[in-house]
């Protein structure tokens, strides 16, 4: 399998603060990889390191096969970058911005850029400093998509955007993602809802450490909300498997999240721990529910 | 990469078009003020000329700083948020684009306009280039400082704070270093303005290195360190580099003059001995003694004028062994001063001018006009311990190696005394605008454009001189110093830079101290305005000594 992004033991410190710790991660080419985590988890630092905006304190990162520290024009011509932290040249209009970027990219597709502008309903001649935050983000997206990059890196692109703009933004990405050319999207967000529709891979980062990274389908398949109704007063049994997360008891019911769900095993496993179980209900979980569960688990473990 | 640089420069120019229009306006305003300002300001009107001229100069320098900062900070290499950092642009290309834009807009454009201005004012291409070069140097220094500060900061606010902090640090550092100047190693460089040239070269090289480092590595802390090193080295250069001890850089001449027989170089008979604050060998300022005397040089020649411009000295006791080396005070290294020596009549300039004009009679309105600045006072400082040793031995010999400059006057131009008459020399242009008869004589108003720094200083010995001459009568008359006024507007910050002026000379027939020339209508009809220009003949060194007893008694 080819990887658009690979990191190996990547670390980045700011003085005594460890923003990213020993991060080893692979982003398969052609995937839409969402790196999610709470605010301050290290997502932006990771992305800035990938984009050579920051140098790693230790370890290494490779982007499209190039060491991030040696990321030059040839590689950057294949990468799109949209970030809430990026300061656009606000004295330019959208048209100026496109004129500024166009000569820098041999693969610039003017017709496609025009289509995106129309689709995202962007004012072409208004200076960016007079545009809303949503418009600026859309402008950044257009000049990052117009050359059909092999890799699109987005750092919190939806932060502060209203629902309509988010929808338009997502449509813009989906439009390209659904095109003929295979490409990779690496997107960071603190809100799983924002990336749920887009991502096919998920990575969860917490306090600078990558807690997990796997395909969304795998994750959805292995996480289940389990609800066990027992006779008498429910009590969480001791010695539960480590993969049963956040167990809690209320009345006659015990609830937990199975993070290694197997359809064939769950009944026997539950009854092995709870012999008085009358009923076992298994409910699929959304990404959001999984994310919240994991976030609480990580917080408790700190 | 070249196409990328061009592309970036084009977008810089486009995005800063309003600022650049303001910049062009300021440059045009200054060129306009220099070109025609003196005519509108009039002569001697409450220093309005100075205020107007200085005002546009300050605007130009301020705008240079702002424009430089804007050009760099629009695509800053500080921080991680600049748009260009994630685009396929080589840092070196961005740096080159910024520096080329700054060079084009802030350096070459003003210099080109200055060149066009002075060509338009009637100077030669070479002189116009000299005028442009002076402006170019000023702009380069100004922009270099701004490049250093802007490269290490991300916003104009940070730029201002960093600049103020750096200015304060440099100012305090330079003051401190000056107190220790004598104990610091010195580097002596030959040539005119060697100190300024060395300072500027270090500054420009530093600005290039600091900005390139930040664009290429984006390591701000190291850039700050480099910027600090650049400022310390640049200003350290000002402290340790010297042209020649005691020699006024403006007076420097590389030629050697062979003095004729009979040339006399002397130290004054009177030596002043008084307490003074002296920089001791430890570098600390201590109370000591200061000896000062005059130095003068006389020539028997009717054409050549001698002028002492520098001195090196040592003090010897009666045994001829130096007690200590007298160091000329720092203030004197940077500027010697004129003094009166009424007991000696110096007619060297008068003789030289008379020869140049080919006249029998030269009326000088004031004896001090040319004779006053013949003598230069020199000050020697002495730590008190050394002075005690000198006093214990009953005195000593003050011995000096005097550097003497020689020059000769010649007629640069002679134009008929009527309005509209003009002349153009390579480095100056003049037009008579008004000739008025007054009860005392004649007032002549001229417009002039000049490059030579000495042209502006009328009364300076060795400077350009203006006279009236009647060739048929073999008579000439100096203007009256007291009733002459000048309005000068210079292009640069220094008062002796290239510029234009309106000058009003009064030729007073009743004032000459050495005989009246009657300015009759017939005399005036045949008169011409003559511009005398000193020609540098070179320099020579001659020893001179004087015996000094304690308390300054010389014998």
Domain regions of chain B by residue span: 2-242, 253-350+372-408+539-554, 409-535
Q: Would the CB atoms of A89 and B15 count as touching at under 8 Å?
A: yes
Q: Hey, are the CB atoms on B90 and A72 less than 8 Å from each other?
A: yes
Strand-pairing partners, residue B336, are none
For residues B279 and B533, which has the higher predicted lDDT (pLDDT)? B533
**Residue A260 contacts B, CB cutoff 8 Å:** no
Backbone dihedral region for residue A288 (phi beyond 0: left; psi -120 to 50: alpha; all else: beta): alpha
- The residue of chain B nearest to residue A76, with distances taken between CA atoms, is B88
CATH architecture of A3-219: 3-Layer(aba) Sandwich (3.40)
Indicate if ipTM > 0.90: no
Partner-chain contact A73 B88, CB within 8 Å: yes
Q: What are A16's two structure tokens?
A: 């005594």
Q: Is A221 on the interface with B (CB under 8 A)?
A: no
Alpha carbon distance B426, A22 (integer Å): 73
Q: What is the pLDDT of residues A125-138, one digit of tens each?
A: 898 989 888 888 88
Closest CA to B470 of B509, B513, B525: B525
Shortest alpha-carbon distance between residue A24 and chain B (Å): 23
For B160-169, the pLDDT digits (tens) are 999 999 889 8
For B105-167, the DSSP string reads: IIIIHHHHHHHHHHHHTT--HHHHHHHHHHHHHHHHHHHHHHHHHHHT-SSHHHHHHHHHHHH
Q: Please indicate if any CB of chain B lies within 8 Å of the CB of A238.
A: no
Least confident residue range of B75-89, B104-118, B481-495: B481-495
pLDDT at A272: 84
Dihedrals phi, psi of A40, to nearest 5 degrees: 80, 10
* CA distances for A95 relative to A81, A111, A180, B250, angstroms: 18, 13, 27, 56
Residue with tokens 């923003």: A19
The beta-carbon neighbor of B88 closest among A51, A77, A96 is: A77
Contacts with B49 (C-beta within 8 Å, 6 or more apart), sequence order: B37, B38, B41, B487, B488, B489
CB-nearest partner of A76 from B4, B80, B86: B86
Give buried/exposed letters for B34-50 (b at 16+ CB in 10 A, else e). bbebbeebebeeeeebe
Are the C-beta atoms of residues B358 and B409 closer than 8 Å to each other? no
CB pairs under 8 A between A and B: 51
From the candidates A100, A105, A141, A143, which should be mutated to test the interface with B, based on the most B CB atoms within 10 A?
Answer: A100
Q: Give A205-221 pLDDT, tens digit per residue.
A: 988 999 889 998 898 88
| Residue B185 CB neighbour total at 10 angstroms | 5
Chain A CB contacts of B87 under 8 Å are 76, 101, 104
Residue B531 confidence (pLDDT): 85
pLDDT exceeds 50 at position B39: yes
Q: Has residue B337 got a pLDDT over 50?
A: no
Per-residue exposure over A25-44, b if at least 16 CB sit within 10 Å of its own CB, e if not: bbbebebbbbbbbbeebbbb
Least confident stretch, A109-113, B206-210, B244-248, B329-333: B329-333
Q: Where are the domains of chain A?
A: 3-219, 224-284
Q: How many CB atoms lie within 10 A of CB B281?
A: 12
Tokens encoding A223: 């996480």
Confidence tier at B376 by pLDDT (50, 70, 90) = very low
Rg of chain B on CA atoms, in Å: 27
Intra-chain end-to-end CA distance of chain A, in Å = 34
Stated as kind and residue range, the H or E segment containing A177 is helix A163-177
What is the reported pLDDT for B431?
86
Q: What is the pLDDT of residues B167-208, one digit of tens each?
A: 898 888 877 776 666 666 666 555 556 677 788 888 999 999
| Those residues with Cβ within 8 angstroms of residue A85's Cβ, 6 or more apart along the chain or in another chain | A44, A155, A156, B80, B81
B17 neighbourhood in chain A, CB within 8 Å: none
Q: How many CB atoms are closer than 10 A to CB A2? A: 11
Percent of chain B at pLDDT exceeding 70? 70
Q: Are strands B428-437 and A277-284 parallel, antiparallel or unpaired?
A: unpaired
Rounded to a whole number, what is the distance in angstroms from the first to the last CA of chain B?
A: 76
User: Which residue among B7, B11, B83 places its CB closest to the CB of A86?
Assistant: B83
Residue A224 has pLDDT above 80, yes or no: yes
CA distance A285 to chain B (A): 37
Range from B108-122, B135-149, B278-292 carrying the lowest mean pLDDT: B278-292
Cβ contact B80–A53 (<8 Å): yes
Q: Residue A156 and residue A138: Cα distance in Å, rounded?
A: 13
Q: CA angle at residue B463 from B458 to B464, to 5 degrees?
A: 75
Q: pTM of the prediction?
A: 0.78
The DSSP element (H or E) to which B204 belongs, if any, is helix B194-217
Tokens of B18: 């309003």
For residue A209, the distance in angstroms to the closest alpha carbon of chain B comes to 22
Q: Tokens 């040793």 sit at which residue?
A: B389
Q: Specify the range with the lowest mean pLDDT, choosing from A59-63, A90-94, A242-246, B175-179.
A: B175-179
> pLDDT digits over B496-536, tens only?
678 888 888 888 776 555 567 778 888 888 899 998 888 88
Q: Is the pLDDT of residue B222 over 80?
A: yes
CA distance B71 to chain A (A): 12
Query: Are the beta carbons of A86 and B14 separated by less than 8 Å?
Result: no
**CB B208 within 8 Å of CB B311:** no
Test A87 with B83 for CB contact under 8 angstroms: yes
């Amino acid at each position: 399998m080819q990887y658009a992004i690979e990191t190996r033991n990547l670390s980045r410190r700011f003085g005594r603060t460890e923003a990213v710790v020993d991060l080893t991660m692979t982003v398969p080419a052609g995937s839409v990889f969402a790196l999610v985590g709470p605010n301050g988890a290290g997502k932006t630092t990771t992305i800035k390191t990938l984009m050579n905006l920051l140098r790693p304190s230790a370890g290494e990162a490779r982007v499209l096969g190039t060491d991030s520290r040696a990321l030059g024009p040839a590689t950057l011509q294949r990468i799109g970058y949209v970030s809430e932290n990026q300061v656009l040249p606000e004295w330019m209009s959208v048209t100026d911005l496109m004129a500024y970027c166009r000569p820098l990219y041999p693969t610039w597709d003017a017709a496609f850029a025009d289509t995106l502008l129309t689709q995202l309903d962007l004012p072409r001649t208004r200076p960016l400093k007079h545009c809303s935050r949503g418009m600026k983000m859309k402008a950044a997206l257009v000049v990052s998509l117009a050359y059909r990059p092999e890799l699109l890196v987005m750092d919190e692109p939806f932060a502060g955007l209203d629902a309509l703009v988010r929808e338009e933004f997502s449509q813009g990405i989906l439009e390209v993602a659904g095109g003929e050319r295979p490409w990779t999207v690496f997107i960071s967000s603190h809100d799983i809802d924002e990336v749920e529709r887009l991502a096919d891979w998920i990575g969860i980062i917490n306090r600078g450490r990558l807690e997990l990274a796997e395909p969304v389908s795998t994750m959805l398949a292995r996480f289940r909300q389990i609800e066990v109704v027992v006779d008498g007063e429910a009590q969480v049994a001791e010695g539960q498997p480590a993969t049963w997360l956040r167990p809690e008891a209320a009345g006659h019911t015990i609830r937990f999240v199975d993070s290694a769900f197997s359809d064939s095993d769950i009944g026997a496993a539950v009854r092995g721990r709870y012999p008085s179980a009358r009923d076992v209900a298994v409910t699929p979980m959304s990404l959001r529910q999984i994310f919240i569960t994991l976030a609480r688990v990580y917080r408790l473990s700190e | 990469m070249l196409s990328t640089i061009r592309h970036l420069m084009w977008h810089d120019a486009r995005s800063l078009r309003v600022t650049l229009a303001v910049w062009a306006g300021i440059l045009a305003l200054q060129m306009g003020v220099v070109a025609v300002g003196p005519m509108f300001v009039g002569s001697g009107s409450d220093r309005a000329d100075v205020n107007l001229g200085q005002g546009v100069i300050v605007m130009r320098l301020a705008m240079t700083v702002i424009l430089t900062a804007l050009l760099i900070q629009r695509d800053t290499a500080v921080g991680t948020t600049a748009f260009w950092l994630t685009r396929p642009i080589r840092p070196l290309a961005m740096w080159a684009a910024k520096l080329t834009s700054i060079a084009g807009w802030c350096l070459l454009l003003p210099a080109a306009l200055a060149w066009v201005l002075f060509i338009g004012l009637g100077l030669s291409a070479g002189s116009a280039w000299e005028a442009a070069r002076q402006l170019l140097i000023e702009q380069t220094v100004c922009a270099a400082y701004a490049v250093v500060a802007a490269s290490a900061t991300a916003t104009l606010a940070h730029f201002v704070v960093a600049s103020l902090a750096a200015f304060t640090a440099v100012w305090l550092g330079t003051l401190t270093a000056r107190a220790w100047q004598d104990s610091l190693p010195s580097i002596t460089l030959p040539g005119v303005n060697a100190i300024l040239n060395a300072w500027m070269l270090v500054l420009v090289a530093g600005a290039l290195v600091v900005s390139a480092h930040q664009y290429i590595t984006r390591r701000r802390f190291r850039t700050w360190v480099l910027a600090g090193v650049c400022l310390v080295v640049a200003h350290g250069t000002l402290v340790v580099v010297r042209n020649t001890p005691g020699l006024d850089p403006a007076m420097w001449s590389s030629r050697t003059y062979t003095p004729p027989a009979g040339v006399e170089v002397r130290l004054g008979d009177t030596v002043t001995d008084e307490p003074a604050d002296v920089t001791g060998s430890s570098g600390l300022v201590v109370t000591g003694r200061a000896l000062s005397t005059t130095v003068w040089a006389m020539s028997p020649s009717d054409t050549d004028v001698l002028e002492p411009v520098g001195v090196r000295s040592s003090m010897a006791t009666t045994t001829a062994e130096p007690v200590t080396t007298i160091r000329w005070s720092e203030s004197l290294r940077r500027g010697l001063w004129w003094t009166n020596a009424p007991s000696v009549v110096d007619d060297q300039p008068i003789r030289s001018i008379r020869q140049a004009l080919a006249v029998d009679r030269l009326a000088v309105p004031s004896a001090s006009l040319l004779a006053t600045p013949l003598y230069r006072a020199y000050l020697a400082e002495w730590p008190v311990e050394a002075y005690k040793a000198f006093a214990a031995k009953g005195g000593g010999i003050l011995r000096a190696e005097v550097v003497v400059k020689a020059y000769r006057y010649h007629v640069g131009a002679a134009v008929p005394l009527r309005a509209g008459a003009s002349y153009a020399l390579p480095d100056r242009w003049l037009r008579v605008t008004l000739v008025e008869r007054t009860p005392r004589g004649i007032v002549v108003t001229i417009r002039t454009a000049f490059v030579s720094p000495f042209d502006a200083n009328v009364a300076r010995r060795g400077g350009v001189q203006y006279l009236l001459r009647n060739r048929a009568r073999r008579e000439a008359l100096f203007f009256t110093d007291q009733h002459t006024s000048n309005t000068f507007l210079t292009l640069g910050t220094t008062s002796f830079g290239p510029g234009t002026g309106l000058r009003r000379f009064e030729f007073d027939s009743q004032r000459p101290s050495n005989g009246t020339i009657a300015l009759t209508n017939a005399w005036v009809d045949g008169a011409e305005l003559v511009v005398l220009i000193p020609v540098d003949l070179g320099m020579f060194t001659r020893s001179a000594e004087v015996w000094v007893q304690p308390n300054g008694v010389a014998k």
